[in-house]
Structure 1
Amino acid sequence: MNYLQNYYNNIVKYDLINKFTYKNINNLPKFNAIVLSFNYKTNNLKQLISSLIALELIGEQKPIFTKSKVPVISLKIRKGNPIGCKLILRKNNLNNFLDKLLNEIFCDLKLAINSKHIIKNKFLPIFTLKLKNNLNFSILETHYQIFKNLSNLNIVFITNAKNVSEFIFLLKSYKIFK
């Protein structure tokens, strides 16, 4: 068992129960998915392939291409052309990536993450983050020549929290939010 899963089961759950009132233990907020994506405005095949390889190395899972839904004449993009790639992490891969993110990225950088990054969706709160320097991941840094032209890495945390206060408490318990 991953130590983050153990940390959630033994510490975060009890803190959530003490802080908020729940009638059912299955309603406790947790991370359902983390979505990683690279988006480009051009149809450059070399950038797309390098971003696809980077996502596979970071997430330890096979990513998929995202295709344009409408044609954009000013950018010379046709409908159906690949314009980026994304990766949806769940369960064990989610915990492994969260471990990498906490130990490699957040420990090195003093990020000032505040409530502006939290988006209140119709149904659930979502936390978005953009990493401008993707070479902070050690596996990408070793192959600098391949990954030097990557765009910003978009990271989206999706949970089942009912309101923003539960979601912020969950992020603070993982030391993501200050």
Structure 2
Amino acid sequence: MNIPELKKIYIDEVAPALLKSCGLKNVHQVPKIEKVVLNSSFGAELDKNGIEELRKDMTALSGQAPIVIRAKMSVSNFKLREGMPVGIKVTLRGNVMWDFLLRLIAISLPNIRDFRGVPAKLDGSGNYTLGIIDHSIFPEINVERQRTNTGLDISIVTSASNDADGSELLKLLGMPFRKNSSESSNQQEAA
């Protein structure tokens, strides 16, 4: 069985570094990535063909079939009826999760035009959520047949107990966090 490349990096380099930097005594206390959740929502105006196209894109992107999230209640202001599809969700675990993270960090994010890094704000529990405006940054998505730009939320759930440990885990895995604007302005003044 092949071990994904990013998982090898985690086992060989990241876990020992986290063990030292966090001052942990047991290797089982080292923070790890538990799952990655991909969410994409759409308005009530999207037709059935658009929903099917989005399902095909999410399947190509994640490697597994997404589930369709339906409205739990009717809201007249949004032209939404109970039971109408409002979003698509995929939960990735195991080797599929590691492969997706490698594609995200090494290929997709650097291909964004004028990319300067992703925001470094975690949720307080060591988990990270990244919003992408257009899901066509991934090489698996066929741009020619896509009609609408659909956003995508990527939630990386870790076993870290705080933001510092979760942030350190993601940095060591290669997540391109944005430098603080105050740090970059100080560097420009010094030059």
TM-score w.r.t. structure 1 length?
Answer: 0.89
Q: Work out the CA distance in 2 between the residues paired with 1:17 and 1:171.
A: 14
Q: Work out the CA distance in 2 between the residues paired with 1:108 and 1:23.
A: 39
1:130 is the counterpart of 2:131: yes
TM-score w.r.t. structure 2 length?
Answer: 0.83
For residue 147 of structure 1, give the secondary structure of its aligned residue in structure 2: coil
Q: Work out the CA distance in 1 between the residues paired with 2:12 and 2:117.
A: 28
Task: Find 1:67's aligned residue among 32, 53, 70.
Answer: 70
Q: Work out the CA distance in 2 between the residues paired with 1:107 and 1:145.
A: 21
Q: Please show how residues 111-130 of structure 1 align to structure 2 within 5 Å.
A: 111-116=116-121, 118-120=122-124, 124-130=125-131
Q: Structure 1: 5+ residue runs without aligned partners?
A: none
Aligned residues: percent identity? 23
Look at both structures and tell me which one has the larger radius of gyration over its CA atoms.
2
Answer yes or no: is the 8 Å Cα contact 1:30–1:161 preserved in 2: yes
2:164 is aligned to 165
Cα deviations by residue, 1:85-105 (Å, 9 ceiling, x for unpaired) = 010000111011012112221
Answer yes or no: is the 8 Å Cα contact 1:51–1:150 preserved in 2: no
Q: How far did residue 168 of structure 1 move?
A: 0.6
1:176 is the counterpart of 2:178: no
The number of aligned residues is 172
RMSD: 1.6
1:51 is the counterpart of 2:54: yes
For residue 119 of structure 1, give the secondary structure of its aligned residue in structure 2: coil
Q: How far did residue 177 of structure 1 move?
A: 4.1
Q: How far did residue 146 of structure 1 move?
A: 2.8
Q: Structure 2: 5+ residue runs without aligned partners?
A: 178-191
For residue 39 of structure 2, give the secondary structure of its aligned residue in structure 1: strand
Q: Work out the CA distance in 2 between the residues paired with 1:130 and 1:15.
A: 28
Cα deviations by residue, 1:25-72 (Å, 9 ceiling, x for unpaired) = 212111111111110121522221111111100010111001112211
- Greater Cα shift, 41-50 or 6-15: 41-50
Answer yes or no: is the 8 Å Cα contact 2:39–2:87 preserved in 1: yes
1:155 is the counterpart of 2:154: yes
Answer yes or no: is the 8 Å Cα contact 1:48–1:83 preserved in 2: no
Q: Work out the CA distance in 1 between the residues paired with 2:116 and 2:156.
A: 16
Q: Work out the CA distance in 2 between the residues paired with 1:27 and 1:86.
A: 30
2:38 is aligned to 36
Higher strand share: 1
Q: Please show how residues 76-155 of structure 1 align to structure 2 within 5 Å.
A: 76-109=79-112, 110-116=115-121, 118-120=122-124, 124-140=125-141, 143-155=142-154
> Structure 2: which amino acid aligns with 1:37?
N
1:7 is the counterpart of 2:9: yes
> Structure 1: which amino acid aligns with 2:75?
V
Answer yes or no: is the 8 Å Cα contact 1:43–1:82 preserved in 2: no
